[in-house]
Amino acid sequence: MTTGTMTPGAAKPQPHHGPLTRLFGGRRNLQTTLSLTLMALPGIIALLVFAYLPMVGLVIAFKNYRFADGLWGSAWVGFDNFRFLFGTDVAWRITRNTLLMNSIFIITGTVASLVIALLMNEVYTSWVSKYYQTLLFFPYFVSWVIVSYFVFGFLNAETGIVNQVITAFGGDPISWYREARYWPLILTFSHLWNSVGFGSIIYLAGILAIDPAYYEAAKIDGASKLQQVRYITLPLILPLIIILVLLSIGRIFNADFGLFYFVPRDNPQLYPTTDVIDTFVYRSLVRLGNISMAAAAGFYQSVVGFVLVLLANWFVRRINRDYALF
Amino acid sequence: MVHRSRSILLSLVLILAVVAGCAAPGAAPAPGAPGGQGGTALIPVTYTYAGGGVPRDLQMVQDAINAILNESIGVNLTLEPIDWGAFNERMQLRLAAGEPCDIIFTAPWINSYTNNVANGALLPLDDLLKEHAPGLWASMPPTTWDAARINGVIYGVINQQIFPKPWGVHARKDLLEKYNFSLDNVKRWEDMEPWLEAVKNGEGITPVYADQGSYSLWRPQYYGYDPLDDGIRFVGIKADDETLTVVNLYETPEYIEAVNLTKRWVDLGYFPRELLPRDEARAAFRAGLFAMGYHVEKPGNDVEMQTAVGWEFVSKNLTDPLILDTAGATATMNAICATSRNPVAAMKVLEVLNTDPVVYNLLARGIEGVHWVWEDKANRVITYPEGVTSATSGYEPNTDWMFGNQFNAYYRSAAQVGAWEATKIMNDTAYPSQALGFVVDRKPIETEIAQLIAVMDELERPIAQGYIAYEVGAPELLARMNAAGAQKVIEEVQRQLLAWREANPR
Amino acid sequence: MTTTAELQTRPTVRATVRRPFNWGQLVVHLILSLVGIACLLPMLLIVSISLSSEREIALNGYRLWPQGFTLFAYEYILQQPGQILRAYGVTAFVTAVGTLSGLLVCSLLAYPLSRQDYIFRRPLSFYVFFTLLFNGGMVPFYILMTRYLGLKDNILALILPYMVTAWYVLILRTSFAQLPIDLLDAARIDGAGEWRIFFQIVLPLSKPVLATIGLFFVLRYWNDWFLALLFMNRADLYPLQYLLYVLMTNINVLASNPQTVGIPIPVQSTRMAMAVLAFGPALFTFLLLQKHFVRGITIGGLKG
């Protein structure tokens, strides 16, 4: 399904139009542009009001915000508010953990969601398929606080199920909450469990939108199921995959606070692998209540994510400009 | 063409709908604008505090209070409880946004007092207090008021309650009797050990209660230190040190003693290895999985603990001498917003709340005959009316210490009679720390503090929890703390402290 | 490239061709069942814990079957049933209005962005995308909402801020861009305006993605408590999740407030009971609507 750039009317002769009309490619296109802009307008205004207007607050990151002085009256302090993020050797660790864990999440999440979506598509006509969909959505309703109870129920030293199994097979029980090295795996599982239903339903919607004619033709050519996936399904939902990955890259510096804070139970011995930018900022600032430093941390995360997306987008554009974000 | 014009019309409608939703700039009614122009010109005052939801009978209580206040000081008070879960966030946003308010609850631990003062959100109260609240001003000695001063100015009215921290133990009465142990001879934590050993072996439980928020025998005041600032955690002075020498608490022999003892208790199985969140730990206590706790053993704590976890307790304070420090004295306060339109009236309300037991108990306990009745009027003991329980009562905030002088509160049970007097004696006889009244200005060292908190959370907690021996963990902790600017913080606090002493000679 | 006529006459493959039983299908079912059970078990645990006594949980840990069966947690939460019912009403209203208006505004914005011939396509895409990453923080947002928009204690405060979400717009855009362009061109040649094309061709063809994004909107509005935390002082406008959040923090404060009188509230079972009350009705509606939901997807899938 190609997204051609054929625009009706563009090739027609363009007699006697004003400069503005000519700029928009003729009367027909001027009207099209007008209509389309009108359509976009409610959304544009909503974003302007609820997203762009508050962005004047970004200056807080560069100010020593004092309630009494307000946004404009507070003193400028340059990059002072950013210092606490980079001052210690922890800076490297939280950056590494955030990037690494989020990269793992993006890759495993995308693959798992895709696989589940493909599997569900295979049995879509079966009566049980809708139960799968519903079941997969359950975890999305469960808050991380509650997940932390379950994980603890599974892993705690005394009554934990996992250790009971290990000892039943003659192994030594593991102190899960003292050993940082297990946690990338535990967190990845928790994240997958929580998000796979959500991700797979987007891909399933994309797959279901594919014209069945393609599969018919492939069947006539004798293509196997795997070949159909390889040559029809995946290429056709590639734009969707790319857009979702690009969007996740934009958030790669923002960790899921609930997951990283509640599930390891804010246990200091696990920080080497579980401490991320968001939990660090929370711990450092919650007792200080410093709005400016919190704003600085958020700004830093946004800028890095922004740069990464620009790079990724540039890369995608070079390969296929239709797939790019902008 | 017809289609097109209709579509344009449609989009116009859509836009208007969106704009209408967003418009009305500046249309927000000015809160606190004088209501009821006709007749008496009552001055409106709003009191904003934290509470467990809006009580069903809030309006009734407010009316009853206003029936008194309208007459006596010409004020119409609006009570505005904000849910606990929203209070800190919403108060900070309101103050940050410069929204007008009158009286607000503020403390070191929620809606931060020092933070609010640093942000210029609170009104200086010295003159207002002396002029419009003489009874309140006289109810506490100047040294206590000094605790609320920041750079010499009072910004908050201290609610009288327990000020020093009498760290001690509360042990289950049934198990004390079963193992034939008395707290009479217990002077220090260590003295509990024979009983802990007996309980551990006899009951098969880990006897000492601990949770994720309360996990160590390190309690600065028990060991004679004034920690100066709970937010910084690692700096302090010996409470009786007249030279006011600021030290890194984690290098003191007392700290080492405390964490070594904690580790010993963990190793002996007296103290939990794996810490539960408070709610789960409390549930375990109720289920009988712990035998004792260590806490602020103020008078009446045994009764309070019994209602909380269901066992009968014997409690004993082990902290001697008691130390009065700034954080303890300012644990709960009410303040007046810098944006208040009627500060004088607000101060008059604070005067009434702190000196008039009738109004105070209306706010803290509700209306007589509706929410409570006298059980023993001479001793000021109340109980529920027929057919009312704590669960069905329409007004029961349970936060005496938020509304004013707690010593004016009616007792909930006969067992508590005398607790206020005993507490007041503790307050009056506690040793005032040499630094009482000093508050750290965190601004110049905020970056370092943020970094240090992260380091301490990671490396100090395992030591304090008794997982890692001090000798093993301390070198890295201290090295990383120094790298994060511990020395700079100590020097800055020392400088501020000496400058403060210069300005406030003892 | 297929034409409109061909598409419409094509037999509905999925519905008519019955595949014979095969082992591949069995394996697929097996895998999906296992994943499904992994998702279901914790939900059963939540229900079980909500019905267990605090003492048994403390002594034995979690079990799939309630131990020391008690309804105390539910009784406690439902003490004032009117309050909970009202909160359900607020949440239902916010979710319904928010989802419908959000879907409309987002797809109206996404459609022009999906058009290669729309000259503001790139700058506008960027305009949308930028809001995904940057935000001004809470203080300016709060000032804007309360002082300039006057939305304090207004139910619109729970709806408007989430109405346009960059993430949803960009997914919709990607999906719209994949519609067969011939169909749109054919309609244009027939003289249809952009609005008609959008409502009569683009939207009907996009049912799968609309259903998906609609579901996301539903979840987002249903689960939100943060906006209420910032802007709702009036208890009668509390949405469900915020009411539960408030009840929970109040219980926690009570549990650690030594002054508390009366019976201590079992925190764990109450928290689980709240989770049941929060997602139970949502799941129930989801199951009820699913028939339509699934059909919507299927029809859309066949047509597209």
Q: Does B204 touch chain C (CB under 8 A)?
A: no
pLDDT of residue B52: 80
The whole-number pLDDT of residue B137 equals 96
Q: How confident is the model at residue A92 (pLDDT cuts 50, 70, 90)?
A: confident
**pLDDT at B37 (0 to 100):** 40
Contacts of B287 in chain C (CB under 8 A): 54-55, 58-59
B3, B279, B286 member nearest C252 (Cβ): B279
- Residue C136's pLDDT band (cuts 50, 70, 90): confident
Put simply, the answer to whether B97 touches C108 (Cβ < 8 Å) is no
Tokens matching residue B264: 């010993």
Considering the domain boundaries, does residue C7 fall inside one? no
Band (A18; pLDDT cuts 50, 70, 90): low
Residues of chain B neighbouring A75 (CB-CB closer than 8 A): none
Please state which of the ranges A101-105, C13-17, C120-124 shows the lowest mean pLDDT: C13-17
Q: Would you call A43 an interface residue with chain C, using a CB distance cutoff of 8 Å?
A: yes
Q: Is the peptide bond before B272 cis (omega within 30 degrees of 0)?
A: no
C294 touches chain B (CB under 8 A): no
Taking contacts as CB-CB distances below 8 angstroms, the residues of chain C near A118 are none
Label the pairing between strands B225-226 and B75-83: unpaired
Q: What's the rounded Cα separation, in Å, for the pair C271 and C273?
A: 5
The answer to whether residue B358 neighbours chain C at the CB level (below 8 Å) is no
Q: What is the dihedral of CA C243, C249, C253, C255, to 10 degrees?
A: 100
Question: Domain limits at A246?
Answer: 92-323
Nearest-CA distance A285 → chain B (Å) = 6
List phi, psi (to 5°) of B112. -45, 125
- In angstroms, the Cα distances linking A241 to A106, A205, A246, A309, C53 are 11, 12, 8, 15, 47
C31-59 average pLDDT score: 88
Nearest CA in chain A to B339: A68
Instruction: Test C264 with B310 for CB contact under 8 angstroms.
Output: yes
Task: Quote the distance between the C-alpha of residue B419 and its chain's center.
Answer: 19
Choose the weakest-confidence range: A218-227, A229-238, A278-287, C172-181: A278-287
Out of A24, A143, A216, the one facing C119 most closely (by C-beta) is: A24
Q: Which residue has the higher pLDDT, B403 or C257?
A: B403
User: Which amino acid makes up residue A115?
Assistant: V
B99 — contact with chain C (CB < 8 Å)? yes
CATH of the domain at A130: 1.10.3720.10
**By the 8 A CB rule, do C101 and C155 touch?**
no
How near does any CA of chain C get to the CA of A50, in Å?
Answer: 6
Partners of residue A49 in chain B, C-beta under 8 Å: 22
State the CB neighbour count (10 A cutoff) for residue B393. Answer: 20
Orientation of helix A183-208 relative to helix C23-50, angle to 10° = 120
Average pLDDT, chain C: 82
Chain C positions touching B401 (Cβ under 8 A) are 259
Its domain, for residue C210, covers 71-303
Our count of domains for chain C comes to: 1
Residue A225 buriedness (CB in 10 A; 0-12 / 13-18 / 19+): middle
| A45, A285, A291 ranked by CB distance to B19: nearest | A45
Residue B25 has a pLDDT of 34
Examine residue C99 and state whether it is found in any structural domain, yes or no. Answer: yes
**Count of CB contacts below 8 A, B vs C?**
140
Asked whether the beta carbons of residue B53 and residue C252 sit closer than 8 angstroms, the reply is no
C-alpha torsion angle, residues B44, B49, B55, B59 (rounded to 10): -10
d(CA A287, CA B440): 14
Q: Which residues contact A209 (CB under 8 A, 6 or more apart)?
A: C175, C178, C206, C208, C209, C300, C301, C304
Chain A: residue nearest C148 by CA?
A: A49
Nearest to C136 among A56, A134, A160 (CB): A56
In this complex, is the C-beta atom of C171 within 8 Å of any C-beta atom belonging to chain B? no
Q: Contacts of residue C161 in chain B, CB cutoff 8 Å?
A: none
Q: Which region among A82-86, B188-192, B217-221, C253-257 has the lowest average model confidence (pLDDT)?
A: C253-257
C13 has pLDDT over 50: no
A242 assigned to some structural domain: yes
pLDDT classification of A265: cutoffs 50, 70, 90: confident
Residue A244 has pLDDT above 50, yes or no: yes
Q: pLDDT category, C293, cuts 50, 70, 90?
A: low
Distance from CA of C13 to the nearest CA of A (A): 7
Q: List the alpha helices (DSSP H) in B272-342.
A: 278-286, 301-309, 326-329
CATH code for residues B43-161+329-357: 3.40.190.10
- Specify whether the CB–CB gap between B106 and B140 falls below 8 A: no
Q: From the CA of C246, how many Å to the nearest CA of chain A?
A: 15
Contact flag A283-B14 (C-beta cutoff 8 Å): no
pLDDT in tens, chain B (506 residues): 334 344 443 343 333 333 333 333 333 333 333 444 444 689 999 999 998 878 889 999 999 999 999 999 999 999 999 998 889 989 999 999 989 999 999 998 889 898 899 899 999 999 999 999 999 999 998 888 988 998 889 999 999 999 999 999 999 999 999 999 999 999 999 999 999 999 999 999 999 999 888 889 999 999 999 999 888 899 999 999 999 999 999 999 999 999 999 999 999 999 998 888 887 888 889 889 999 999 889 888 888 888 788 899 999 999 989 999 998 999 999 999 999 999 999 999 999 999 999 999 999 999 999 999 999 999 999 999 998 887 788 898 888 899 999 999 999 888 888 999 999 999 989 999 999 989 898 889 988 998 898 889 889 999 999 999 999 999 999 999 999 999 999 999 999 999 999 988 87
Is C6 within a domain?
A: no
Number of domains in chain A: 1
Top-confidence residue, A209 or B366: B366
Q: Is the pLDDT of residue C196 over 60?
A: yes
Of the listed ranges A206-220, B58-72, C94-108, the one predicted with least confidence: A206-220
pLDDT given at position A28 = 66
Is B483 touching A (CB cutoff 8 A)?
A: yes
- Nearest-Cα distance to chain B for C45, in Å, is 17
Local structure of residue B169 (DSSP, 8 states) = E
Shortest alpha-carbon distance between residue B279 and chain A (Å):
12
Nearest CA in chain C to B302: C258
Partner-chain contact B7 C194, CB within 8 Å:
yes
The arithmetic mean of pLDDT across residues A152-165, rounded, is 81
With an 8 Å Cβ cutoff, are B450 and A84 in contact?
A: yes
Confidence of residue A10 (pLDDT cuts 50, 70, 90): very low
Average pLDDT over residues C46-70: 86
Q: B-contacting residues of C 4-23, CB under 8 Å?
A: none
Domain with CATH 3.40.190.10 in chain B: 43-161+329-357
Instruction: Decide if A147 is inside a domain.
Output: yes
One-character DSSP codes across C48-90: HHHTS-HHHHHHH---SS-SS---HHHHHHTTSHHHHHHHHHH
Whether B482 and chain A come into contact, CB under 8 Å, resolves to: no
Is residue C41 included in any domain, yes or no? no
Is residue A142 pLDDT above 90, yes or no? no
The set of chains that have 3 or more CB pairs under 8 A with B is A, C
Substitution target in B111, B211, B233, B274 with the highest count of A β-carbons within 10 Å is: B274
In this prediction, residue C255 has a pLDDT band, given cuts at 50, 70 and 90, of low
Taking contacts as CB-CB distances below 8 angstroms, the residues of chain A near B85 are none
Q: Which of B27, B279, B391 sits opposite C150 (nearest CB)?
A: B27
User: Stretch A153-177: mean pLDDT, rounded?
Assistant: 83
CB contact under 8 A, B390 and C152: no
Q: What is the CATH number of the domain that holds C197?
A: 1.10.3720.10
Core vs surface per residue A53-80: b (16+ CB within 10 A) or e: bbbebbbbbbbbbbbbeebeebeebeeb
Determine, yes or no, domain membership for C10.
Answer: no
Q: Does B308 contact chain C (CB < 8 Å)?
A: yes
Q: Strand pairing partners for C268?
A: none
Q: Which of the four pLDDT bands, split at 50, 70 and 90, describes residue A52?
A: very high
Task: Give yes or no for a contact between B131 and A78, defined as CB atoms under 8 angstroms apart.
Answer: no
Inter-chain CB proximity C259 and B283 less than 8 Å:
no
Q: What is C8-20 written as a DSSP string?
A: HHS--HHHH-PPP
CA contacts within 13 A on the Cβ side of C54: 24
Mean local confidence (pLDDT), A85-110: 90
Which member of A49, A88, A293 has the closest CB to residue B22? A49
d(CA B219, CA B188): 12
Three-state SS across C145-200? HHHHCCCCCCHHHHCHHHCCCHHHHHHHHHHHHCCCHHHHHHHHHCCCCHHHHHHH
In a domain, A136, yes or no: yes
B-proximal residues of C, 109-168, CB under 8 Å: 138-139, 142-143, 146-150, 152, 156, 160
